[in-house]
Amino acid sequence: MLVSLNWLNDYIDVNDYKPEDLAEIITKTGIEVESVNPVAEAAKGIVVGRVVSCEQHPNAEKLSLCQVDIGEGILQIVCGAPNIAEGQKVPVATPGAVLPGNFKINKTKLRGEVSNGMICSLQELGVDEKDVPKEYQEGIYVFPEDVNLGDDAVSLLNLNDIIIELGLTPNRSDCLSMAGVAYEVAAALGREYKLAEEEVETSNEKAEKMVKVEVEDPQANPYYGAFILKDVKVGKSPLWIQNRLTAAGIRPINNVVDITNFVLLEYGQPLHAFDFDRFGSSRVVTRRARSGEKITTLDDQERTLSPDHLIITNGENAHAIAGVMGGAESEVQENTTTILLEAAYFNPANVRQAAKDHGLRSEASTRFEKGVDPNRVERAGIRACELLQQYAGATVLEGPAKFDQLDRSENKVQMNSLKINERLGTEISNEEIAYILERLQFTYESNGDEFLVYAPTRRGDIVLFEDMLEEVARIYGYDNLPFTLPSGAAHAGGLSLEQKLKRGMKAYFEGAGLDETITYSLTSEKQAAMLVSKEVEELTPTPVKLAMPMSEDHSHMRLSILPELLQSISYNSARKQQNIAYYELGTVFISQEEEVTKQPHEMLRASGAVTGEWLAHPWQQEKKVVDFFVVKGIVEGLMKWLDLDVKYTKAKIEGMHPGRTAVVTTAEEEIIGFVGQVHPKVQNELGIKDTFVFDLNAEMLIDIYQKEEAFETIPRFPSVNRDIALVVEDSVPAGHIEKTIYEAGAPLVKQVRVFDVYQGEHLEEGMKSLAYRLLYLDPERTLKDEEVEAAHEQILKEVKDKHNAELRA
């Protein structure tokens, strides 16, 4: 809502406040002021002049040579506007004047002729193009006849006004009117105010004689008033009305339209004027539209209606979509003489639906959607009649003809000052509360601490005690509330074990050299099903799809974090950042239904992607490019941190390198994720180099961790180390041999580590040598050599039997 301070001053004196200070007060008591701006950039030295004569410039076809009387003398001015004519009263920038943009006007010569100034257009005076009346858009502005020569044009055109822009919350639609703003400012300042009082002299003729109002759906349209005005002369509205509209950002059109708009701004009540002769009937029937019914609206669009839309008809055809837009057929035109003026209350929901369906949000629909003040509907109609009588020569018939089932009662709210103070933490006296209610112009009855408040109908938002609590608090001032701390029982806050583990995992990954990322949960249909871990795949999930996605890129909920993580790598790669190490701890969304009916399972996963150089120390000729084992090492480190035994088994996963991918399983053979290289085809599609990833079921990791909490004591007896080097066929996985060693060496073998892998000279083709370091330990006693020897022999026998492994010579 744009509030003109000059206009506001008509109702309440705020001249002694600096606009910024006033804005601050309004913001603190109720409504946020979004901006404070002059209506136009500063201009000075502009006066009213009359074009005494206007001739063609002798040396320029498109210029005119004008003699302009500015009251204290005649100036010769060269003017290029096409609409300049003798006899016009126009804004003249005299030599020394300054136009917006600090444009100084000097005496000059144009094509050989002296020009003592400039005749101005509204745009040149700083008016926004969209607010300039159509007829002046392409040329100079022309004043109405009743202004005086030499008068200051800036104040005549209200260009010295200041506009305060209010950011209204949905509950404060009462301030969608100047009257509402005046109430609010009066309450904020504790000042007197005076609003316009509508009054109109009517003829003896009754509106009812000319028109009957019928309402089919009183729920949707509880009040409809039809005023009839005769002898209307459509023309320009007076300058002051035009100025008010311009300041509020509405373009002046003609007196009838301008006056309905003016009352809309003043009272917050939208009105509509029909050309009664073109309306074509003496019946106004409001009803829900029939399915497929059509109307051509004022903007010359043909629109198809539905029963969701309320329409105004002449008994047969639609002439307006209620509260949204009038029909072209009965539009007020220059030759209109009789007007049917509608002042009505339409149900907010109906108007909202129609405005939405037709994409027509207007000043009118906005106000109906929020609910207009039932006590001002008819009064707004009277106010418009008064102005039309005054400025359009209208004869107003006694009326209106109406349908009226409108509830005009006030909401009653009971409140108790003790409860107010208890809830606010204040000590506001009953007298102060009474004073606040008076400032708000709320009537009330009080008895000691009890107050019964009658909330005015313009404040339909006030229903509950809490609503009144807010009114009292905001006028009392939030600045005046004390600072206290909650008095309830002491409460030990903190993180749950799961939350601690999540933070711990993040710290682990970061310590391991990965940067945390946050990517989008919504992805494309294709990516949603990519790089999905096997244990998720086994649930046969269907990616959850949005009903109305905004784009194909964000249409489905992800089943894996990896695709978006790879997109991030691709983004960086395109920007010459080739060494990336990322992880993310986030949810994926698993629904096992074809058509979703329940909330999907939101599974926490920890995923990472690493590419480029892992380690580079150039002057020492050290450089390590990321490989499978870097990423596996990160996963192993996490498992060690969580104290979990896991196994890695080669596996094929869609989108992953078939020879360089392993699934990770727990000791109980449950799959908890995978680690490996992205398939080169996928890498190529994304334009990324070799990228290694991991994807782990963090939810399961946390679950398992929470179940296993036993700690072992540190052994007191010495352990024994033995190394063995085994020669096996290349195809035998080192992990299998490791497993056999553990099994054969149980219970004494506590740790098996590969410390060398060798192929080449001194070994047969197709063979490899694996060297292991074994750690033997008995936690209860010191081991004897013979015992270790026996176990060692058993191990050698079994690796020979199972894997055909020979002790390396």
Partner 1 sequence: MKERLQELKAEALNKVDEAREVQHLKDVRVEYLGKKGPITEVLRSMGKLSKEERPVIGQLANDVREDIAQAIEKKQSALEEAALEKQLEAESIDVTLPGRPVQVGGPHLLTSIVEEIEDLFIGMGFEIKEGPEVETDYYNFEALNLPKGHPARDMQDSFYITEELLLRTHTSPVQARTMGLKNGSEPVKMICPGKVYRRDTDDATHSHQFTQIEGLLVDKHVRMSDLKGVLNTFAKQMFGAEREIRLRPSFFPFTEPSVEMDISCKVCGGTGCSVCKGTGWIEILGAGMVHPNVLEMAGYDPKEYSGFAFGMGPERIAMLKYGVDDIRNFYINDQRFLKQYHKA
Of 9, 18, 20, 804, the one binding partner 1 by CB under 8 A: 20
Query: Rounded to whole angstroms, how far apart are CA atoms 398 and 377?
Result: 17
**Please, which residue, 353 or 395, has the CB nearer to partner 1?**
353
Task: Check binding of 449 to partner 1 (CB under 8 A).
Answer: no
Please identify which residue in 230, 534, 554, 803 interacts with partner 1, judged by CB under 8 A.
554
Query: Is the preceding omega at residue 747 within 30 degrees of 0, hence cis?
Result: yes
What distances in angstroms separate CA 582 from CA 514, 587, 617, one per listed residue?
5, 16, 21
Q: What DSSP letter does each residue of 300-349 carry, written as one string? A: S-EEE--TTSEEEESSSSEEEETTTEEBSTT---TT---EEEEEEE--HH
Q: Considering the complex, state which of residue 337 and residue 572 has its C-beta at the smaller distance from partner 1.
A: 572
Tell me: does residue 427 bind partner 1 (CB under 8 A): no
Pick out residues in 35-74 that bind partner 1 (CB under 8 A). 35
- Looking at 40-48, 428-436, 503-511, 528-536, which segment touches partner 1 (CB under 8 A)? 503-511
Cβ nearer to partner 1, comparing 101 with 425: 425
Stretch that binds partner 1, among 95-103, 141-149, 547-555, 647-655 (CB under 8 A): 547-555
- Residue environment code for 488-517, b if the CB has 16+ CB neighbours within 10 A, otherwise e: eeeeeeeeeeeeebbebbbebbeebebeeb
The H or E element containing residue 723 is strand 720-729
Residue closer to partner 1 by CB (options 547, 809) is 547
Mark the segment that binds partner 1 (CB under 8 A) among 67-75, 249-257, 506-514, 681-689.
506-514
**Which part of the chain contacts partner 1 (CB under 8 A), choosing from 82-90, 533-541, 576-584, 735-743?**
576-584
29 near partner 1, judged by CB under 8 A:
yes
Dihedral angle at the C-alpha atoms of 429, 432, 438, 444, nearest 10 degrees?
0
Q: Which of 10, 13, 32, 331 binds partner 1 (CB under 8 A)?
A: 32
Task: Show contacts of 26-29: CB within 8 Å, 24+ apart.
Answer: 26/164, 26/166, 26/184, 26/185, 26/188, 28/477, 28/478, 28/479, 29/184, 29/187, 29/188, 29/474, 29/475, 29/477
The number of beta carbons lying within 10 Å of the beta carbon of residue 366 is: 18
Instruction: Indicate the DSSP class of residue 545.
Output: B
Our CB check for partner 1 shows the closer of 495 and 746 to be 495
Does 519 interact with partner 1 (rule: CB under 8 A)?
A: yes
State which of residues 193, 444, 582, 705 lies at the interface with partner 1 (CB under 8 A): 582
Token pair for 544: 């959850």
583-642: contacts with partner 1 (CB under 8 A): 583, 587, 589, 596-600, 602, 614-617, 619-620, 622
The yes or no reply on residue 506 touching partner 1 (CB under 8 A) is yes
Find the part of the chain contacting partner 1 (CB under 8 A) among 259-267, 430-438, 446-454, 463-471.
463-471
766-785: contacts with partner 1 (CB under 8 A): none
Work out how close the CB of 634 gets to partner 1 at its nearest, in angstroms, rounded to a whole number: 10
Instruction: Kindly identify the residues of this chain, within the stretch 481-500, that bind partner 1 according to CB under 8 A.
Output: 481-496, 499
Q: Which stretch binds partner 1 (CB under 8 A): 61-69, 163-171, 390-398, 682-690?
A: 163-171
Q: How many residues bind partner 1 (CB under 8 A)?
A: 97
Interacting positions 317-376 with partner 1 (CB under 8 A): 349, 352, 369
Closer Cβ to partner 1, 31 or 229, answer by number: 31
Q: What is the b/e burial string over 765-799, where b = at least 16 CB atoms within 10 angstroms of the residue's CB?
A: eebbbbebebebbbeeeebeeeebeebbeebbebb
Strand, coil or helix: 667: coil
Of 15, 102, 130, 170, which lies in the binding site for partner 1, with binding defined by CB under 8 A?
Answer: 170
Q: Cα dist. 781→9, 21, 221, 748, 775 in Å?
A: 98, 86, 95, 11, 15
Using CB under 8 A, which of 55, 128, 422, 703 touches partner 1? 422
Is residue 28 involved in binding partner 1 (CB under 8 A)?
yes
Q: Does 725 sit near partner 1 (CB under 8 A)?
A: no
Rounded (10°) CA dihedral 111, 113, 118, 122: -50
